[in-house]
Amino acid sequence: MHILVFGHSGQVATELRALALADVRITTLDRTAANLMDATACADAIAAHAPDAVINAAAYTAVDNAEDDEETAHQINAVAPAAMARACAARDIPFVTISTDYVFSGDGSDPWAPTDPTGPKGAYGRTKLAGELAVAEAGGRDAILRTSWGVSAHGKNFVKTMLRLGAERETLTIVDDQIGGPTGAAEIAHACVTIAQSLARDPSLSGIYHFSGGPDTSWAGFAREIFTQTGLLCTVTDIPSSEFEQRATRPLNSRMDCTATTTAFGIARPDWRDSLKSILHQLHQNQT
């Protein structure tokens, strides 16, 4: 199977490039090869490469900046994926796009199911939800994979920030009232490929799915595990989100019900502590 990936240097796209699967060939597209601000260019790229499936691993993910530049975020997170989905539907090939827990309100404490009502509280969530709706309207072999708290050994993310700050300071204040599942980008990449392969065989599997690491934890709990696994002697002090001012509202409840994903594709919810161990090992290898 030849899979065309929108994205090249992001966390998931980097992990997709690193996959070594005997029956899968992956081509990634950076911004010069596919301008996400030009929906026609995205559709043209699919026509030019004639892949067996498409994964959209590109997105506008600057949550705070989106509050001031929602138009750009909407173009990248909604208009571009819509064009990709229509191009794939016209060719009857699978299309997998990555979405987010930010499409929900973040209220309550129950895990969000794919069928739960959405209600984003910020620009980022609104643009991702618009993308979901547009992809579904395309009517093809489409899967929307909502995930949360993505981390890897690449790019900017919570793990790398904690390693840097934990080495510089003796104590850190981290929010403890935002609860969710850290998710390794490598695991997301594998899930996307599995879903694409499954959709190629069975288009009835099209729909919305959730995928996040378990068990659920807080950012403070996540930080403590990072320091435990690395041996960094940095103490974490819990604080509420109200004491950590940010431009965009973060969901307090990012718990995700991943049952449907396991049932449809046999993809188990990964233990984020194991993902973290792999990420730390890769970072160590990169340093040496």
Enzyme catalytic residues: 124
The whole-angstrom separation of Cα 265 and Cα 190 is 12
Task: Provide the residue type at 88 as one letter.
Answer: C
The whole-angstrom separation of Cα 29 and Cα 130 is 23
The answer to whether 234 and 166 have CB atoms below 8 angstroms apart is yes
| Helical axes 185-201 vs 11-18, angle rounded to 10° | 70
The whole-angstrom separation of Cα 63 and Cα 240 is 19
What kind and span of H or E run contains 5? strand 2-6
CA distances to 23, 26, 118 from 3, rounded to whole Å, are: 11, 5, 30
The answer to whether 135 and 81 have CB atoms below 8 angstroms apart is yes
The whole-angstrom separation of Cα 211 and Cα 188 is 8
Strand residues in 102-199 grouped as ranges (E): 142-147, 150-151, 171-175, 179-180, 183-184
Structure tokens at 130: 């618009």
Provide φ and ψ at 54, rounded to 5°.
Answer: -130, 135
